[in-house]
Amino acid sequence: MRTQVAVIGAGPAGLLLSYLLHSEGVEAVVLEARDREYVRQRVRAGVCEQPTVELLTEIGLGDRLVREGLPHEGFSLRFDGQDHRIALTELTGRSITVYGQQEIVKDLVDAHERQGLPLEFEVSDVAVSDVDTSRPVVRYVDAAGVSQVLECDAIVGCDGFHGVSRPSIPDGGLQFFEREYPFAWLGVLAQTPPSHEELIYTHHPRGFALHSMRSPEITRLYLQVDPGEDLSAWSDDRIWSELSLRLAVDGEFTLREGPILDKGITPMRSFVAEPMRHGRLFLAGDAAHIVPPTGAKGMNLAVADVRVLSRALVSLAKGDPTPADAYSDTCLRRVWRAEHFSWFMTTMLHTDPGADAFARRLQLSQLRYTASSRAAATSVAENYVGLPFGG
């Protein structure tokens, strides 16, 4: 088989890249290891930066997002038993929209199927080769068990942190920057209306807590736990009790409880691979970088990557390699800004079990400054609503 671009991974990055390329007349084939329903249903991030919303709307995929998404003009920052609002729109003129990543994936899968764009699920044994040539190759076994060879002009790895794309780059071809954090998130999806109209980020002596939502009927909540925590030790009653304790303020606040539909523990990591390209193999999204979820940047960084990359690959197809050569440097400027912001939010809000009294006082000082200074709040708001994509 022959195509112009082979895209490995049918998450939001891979699907959006394919859609953008086809809209510009560049052929692409998307390969995904999981089955169609798993891809459509897996629960991931839920905060869309304004540039993400604008892009999806611009390319005709924003109808359901605009109709069902939940626009937010601020979020709450809680500590010392008090609630402090970061007024995103007042400070920046922009906002964020809560719309689950899986909903964006559904919109993209449906768009591919409506237009008959190549999208293969349940592939296996994916192998990448010849990336140092102008004709790289992807070998895989399709859903019917038939071995396939896909020749192309470029390969894009959108297959996440544990995918096959990044390890396909020869030793010495990448430099890694990584930090692991001494805590994790216990996340739950609950069938109950949100208890607050906006997100709540809470710093508490017992650990961080986050109140978020997915819809007017579904709430998403998180608790800071130890990375080695046993999920079976957390009954529904224990989860609700701990959430109520950490989210409480001195004023009036009642946490709405309901059936827990899903729960899991996620470790916290910062990771960047440089450069985001080797020959004709390009990396995008989690294949190239990971941020702790505190800053709500992961999916939005993936969208920013493929917006830049789609333009670069269109130019490459027309014989101009300059934007492709600049892809990594262009994206890494935004990536490192998001890495810093995510680290800042994570270290400001979480309780570090190894921190001494001096570090804890510094942390509280930063929280108080962020809540009381318009300049500090504006910096947080500007990063939170999303910086321009660039490129």
Average pLDDT for consecutive 10-residue bins of the chain (391 residues)? 96 96 97 92 83 95 93 96 96 95 93 95 96 95 96 96 95 95 95 95 96 92 96 96 95 91 94 97 97 94 97 96 96 96 97 94 97 97 90 52
Strand (E) or helix (H) holding 345:
helix 322-349
Peptide bond into 323 cis (omega under 30): no
Q: To 5 degrees, how large is the angle CA 93–CA 81–CA 206?
A: 105
Catalytic residues: 72, 201, 293, 297, 384
SS3 state at 69 = coil
Per DSSP bridges, beta strands 260-274 and 175-190 are: antiparallel
H or E element in which residue 213 lies: strand 209-213
Whole-model pTM: value is 0.94
- What residue ranges define each of the domains in the chain, with the CATH number in brackets? 5-72+95-177+269-346 (3.50.50.60), 181-265+351-385 (3.30.9.10)
Hey, what amino acid is at 220? R
Residues 336-353 pLDDT 10s: 999 999 999 999 999 999
Q: Which residues, 6 or more positions from 232, have their beta carbon under 8 angstroms from its beta carbon?
A: none
Q: Residue 388's pLDDT is what?
A: 86
Instruction: Indicate the helix (H) or strand (E) that contains 113.
Output: helix 101-115
DSSP string, 133-193: SSS-EEEEE-TTS-EEEEE-SEEEE-S-TTSSTGGGSPTTS-EEEEEEEEEEEEEEEESS-
